[in-house]
Structure 1
Amino acid sequence: MLDVGLAVVSALECAAEGFRFAHSAGLPVPVGVIFGLVAGAVLVLRRRWPVAVVLVSVAITPAQMGFLLGLVGLYTLAASELPRRIIGALAGMSFAGTMIVGFVRAYQDAAGGGLTIGDWFVPFVAITMSLGMTAPPVLLGLYVGARRRLMESLRERADSLERELQLLAERAEERAEWARSEERRRIAREMHDVVAHRVSLMVVHAAALQAVARKDPEKAVKNAALVGDMGRQALTELREMLGVLRAGESAVPVAEPVPLAGVGAAAAAAASRAAQDEGAEGPSLAELDELVGQSREAGMVVELWVEGKSRVYAPEVEQTAYRVVQEALTNVHKHAAGAKARVRLAHRASEIAMQVENEPPPAASASDARLPSGGNGLVGMKERVAALGGVFVSGPTDAGGFRVSAVIPAGR
């Protein structure tokens, strides 16, 4: 609406000036009026083609028309995104045309009025008039264009910052979810290792107790005592784990809100602290003989071979090695009852290696214990070893047994 209004005013102005130009030039009046209307109406295109508007204003300057057309055209041109050299060239053309027309008109007026004025007056009037017609709209347009570009840049910067904050919040939520998932998997692995091994041995001893209760009461009493001991050990380990979880819950203030950007870091720190607590309070390789002895008491033939000089490793390394052997022996109890097993532990310069291999189970005792399996033992062992940068391999042997191998770097 603004452009149309300006174009209408410019067309009327140019039509009035065209009427005067037609009289002075000896042209038909309708031709001058129509020419002025068309030339002034070009201002409606100032936003799309500002160069064309300025060129039209320069072209009709000798006819002494287009005052509003020139001012608005130069302002729009200077405020546009065109290169400065184009703006300067067109402004110079407008300045030169206005100055020439102003010089001629001032000279004619001075000569027609019979005034005797100094030679400096006509150039002074021409230069002053051309500067007044050119400089203000150009300077104002440059200022408005620069301010507009600055506001657009600030708006784009604010939008960019808002998008970055949104991405940071999404990444923080993803890190928090990842930390929660890692903590759930860690707890699931620990619960599986603690419960599965102890309960599996309890089931094996219970089956043996049922078989010899009437034939050999002394052995039945011994098996019953072993079942009780293992049950108490399982309860003790469960209480320790639940105590760690409750301590972790009480350490986090529930009433205070946590900033969204810090959720991922807080959850990751909590997971790291939980992992450190796990490594500090978990079993170690010094308890490996006791672990093998429990399987022997359950009736399994187990051989333990240790190679290299024993030394102390980081708590998480020792616990992972212990859990791998523990879960492998538990799987032998579950899936190969009565089979002979061999446990190998090798202390090397920069790593510790372990292998648990069992022979095929006797056909008569393959399903005596009837132990269920959730299928998570091998997955848990692989996750534990991979978390420390180690390598885990498991699979059947050529003889029909099963082998579990793991290598863990000792430099942590």
Structure 2
Amino acid sequence: MFDGALALVSAVECAAEGVSFAGRAGVPEGAGALLGLLVGSVLLVRRRWPIAVVLVSVAVAPAEMGFLMGIVGLYTLAASEVPRRYTAVLAGMATVAVFVVTAVEMRRDIAAQADGFDPNVWYVPVMALFMTLGLNAPPVLFGLYIGARRRLMESLRERADSLEQELSLLADRAEQRAQWARQEERRRIAREMHDVVAHRVSLMVVHAAALQAVALKDPQKAVKNAALVGDMGRQALTELREMLGVLREEPAAGPPAAPAGVPLAAVGRAAAAAAQAAASGEPADGAGTGDGPGLGALEDLCEQSRLAGAAVELAVLGEARPYPPEVGRTAYRVVQEALTNVHKHAPGAAVVVRLAHREAEVAMQVENGPSDAGVADVGLPSGGNGLVGMKERVVRLGGVFVSGPTDAGGFRVSAVIPVGAEGS
């Protein structure tokens, strides 16, 4: 609508100037008015073909026609995406045309004056140049400014869209990492629950079976086995309470909600940091699970299995030293799960537990012989997740885990865990 209004005003102006031009040229005024209407209407296509508008204004400049069309055409040309060399050439052509027409008209007016005014020889060119620049320079400069501003805004908009897409992608990746970390945390908790429940309950079942077998024959031994079952049950409940207590704890300083005005990048970085913290094996809120049993409790662990009737031998090589809590806890859980598997799958078998303290690592091996045929199988169920859990624990710390049957008909579990600088 704006372009149509400009074209209408330009057409009316050019029609009036066309009538004046027709009178000077000695042609019918109707033809001049029609020519002016056609020339002025060209302004309607200024956005699509700005070069054509400027060329038409230059062409009709000798007829002193198209004043508004020339100004608007130069502005549109300068603000458009036309190459700057074309803009310079066309602006120069328009300037020359306006300068020549203005100079000729000024000389004609001076000559027509009756008072005999005789200006300096530079008066007409200088005045014509000032008038020409006053007409052509402002629309060209303003058009260049508007075009540069428009391109800058488009560039900033494209950059903002690109940043928004990048931030959205980062947020999606952070959510994926957080989801993976949550799954890893579930698996970690499942491993802890399995280690605590499986070992203690397995020993309780073994002692209960022994209690059933000797209850009538040896009451004193039955009382001892019953006391052991009670002690192990209390130990299992204590460990479960500690673990569940940690799960019930509220986060000490959880990630704050993003207030208004906070960029999405900060939220994405916070989510990524939480995901990385959880993926590293630590809870996202900073709450630990306690140090738990470590290598110093291996002798008690083996003694519990001995009380259950298993022949367990513990061999320690090297000098013991402090280890990071995660290393000691993982080594303890590996031995614990291996002894649990012996009670489940090889009751009565002789077991050798080897622990080696090395310079940069700690190694453990649990090897059992074939099951004693004279010992009754207590029928402990197996979920098939023990070896998988042990391997996940060891591999997560950068260690190596190997398990498999031996040539003698038994089973061997071996693990090597690097200590790192913290434990050295």
For normalisation by structure 2, the TM-score amounts to 0.83
Q: CA deviation at 1:68?
A: 1.4
Q: CA RMSD in A?
A: 3.2
Determine helix, strand or coil for the equivalent of 1:249. coil
Counterpart residue number, 1:60: 60
Counterpart residue number, 2:320: 310
Tell me, yes or no, if the aligned pair for 1:388 and 1:408 is still in contact at 8 Å: yes
Tell me, yes or no, if the aligned pair for 2:251 and 2:287 is still in contact at 8 Å: no
Q: CA deviation at 1:338?
A: 3.0
Determine whether 1:290 maps to 2:300.
yes
Counterpart residue number, 1:74: 74
Gaps of 5+ in 2: 260-266
Tell me, yes or no, if the aligned pair for 2:353 and 2:365 is still in contact at 8 Å: yes
C-alpha distance in structure 1 between counterparts of 2:393 and 2:72, whole Å? 75
Percent of paired sites with the same residue: 68
Tell me, yes or no, if the aligned pair for 2:61 and 2:101 is still in contact at 8 Å: yes
Q: 1:205 to 1:141 in 2, by over 3 A?
A: same
Counterpart residue number, 1:117: 118
Determine whether 1:342 maps to 2:352.
yes
Q: 1:54 to 1:192 in 2, by over 3 A?
A: same
C-alpha distance in structure 2 between counterparts of 1:168 and 1:2, whole Å? 44
Tell me, yes or no, if the aligned pair for 1:176 and 1:265 is still in contact at 8 Å: no
Tell me, yes or no, if the aligned pair for 1:194 and 1:238 is still in contact at 8 Å: yes
Q: CA deviation at 1:32?
A: 4.4
Counterpart AA for 1:339? A
C-alpha distance in structure 2 between counterparts of 1:218 and 1:386, whole Å? 46
Counterpart AA for 1:86? Y
Counterpart AA for 1:193? D
Counterpart AA for 1:350? A
C-alpha distance in structure 1 between counterparts of 2:42 and 2:403, whole Å? 84
Q: CA deviation at 1:327?
A: 0.9
Q: CA deviation at 1:78?
A: 1.8
Q: 1:274 to 1:151 in 2, by over 3 A?
A: closer
Counterpart residue number, 1:328: 338
Q: 1:22 to 1:339 in 2, by over 3 A?
A: farther
**1:255-266 to 2 correspondences below 5 Å:** 258-259=257-258, 261=267, 262=270, 265=273
Q: CA deviation at 1:389?
A: 1.6
Determine helix, strand or coil for the equivalent of 1:224. helix
Tell me, yes or no, if the aligned pair for 2:246 and 2:287 is still in contact at 8 Å: no
Counterpart AA for 1:187? I
C-alpha distance in structure 2 between counterparts of 1:383 and 1:52, whole Å? 75
Determine helix, strand or coil for the equivalent of 2:309. coil
Tell me, yes or no, if the aligned pair for 2:185 and 2:283 is still in contact at 8 Å: no
C-alpha distance in structure 2 between counterparts of 1:180 and 1:358, whole Å? 36
Counterpart residue number, 1:249: 250
Counterpart AA for 2:398? G
C-alpha distance in structure 2 between counterparts of 1:274 and 1:17, whole Å? 82
Q: CA deviation at 1:401?
A: 3.9
C-alpha distance in structure 1 between counterparts of 2:275 and 2:287, whole Å? 14
Counterpart residue number, 1:107: 107
2:364 to 334, 348, 354: 354
Q: CA deviation at 1:321?
A: 0.6
Q: Deviations over 1:17-53 (max 9, x none)?
A: 3344344445566654444333322222211222222
Counterpart residue number, 1:408: 417
Structure 1 window deviating more from structure 2 (96-105 vs 176-185): it is: 176-185
Tell me, yes or no, if the aligned pair for 2:342 and 2:368 is still in contact at 8 Å: yes
Q: 1:117 to 1:402 in 2, by over 3 A?
A: farther
C-alpha distance in structure 2 between counterparts of 1:109 and 1:62, whole Å? 16
Q: CA deviation at 1:141?
A: 1.6
Q: 1:274 to 1:402 in 2, by over 3 A?
A: farther
2:401 to 370, 378, 392: 392
C-alpha distance in structure 2 between counterparts of 1:347 and 1:228, whole Å? 34
Determine whether 1:373 maps to 2:382.
yes
Q: CA deviation at 1:329?
A: 1.3
Counterpart AA for 1:202? M
Counterpart residue number, 2:204: 202
C-alpha distance in structure 2 between counterparts of 1:382 and 1:61, whole Å? 90
C-alpha distance in structure 1 between counterparts of 2:320 and 2:257, whole Å? 46
Determine helix, strand or coil for the equivalent of 2:250. helix
Tell me, yes or no, if the aligned pair for 1:175 and 1:265 is still in contact at 8 Å: no
Q: CA deviation at 1:71?
A: 0.7
C-alpha distance in structure 2 between counterparts of 1:149 and 1:23, whole Å? 46
Tell me, yes or no, if the aligned pair for 1:72 and 1:137 is still in contact at 8 Å: yes
Tell me, yes or no, if the aligned pair for 1:179 and 1:264 is still in contact at 8 Å: no
Q: Which has the higher helix share?
A: 1
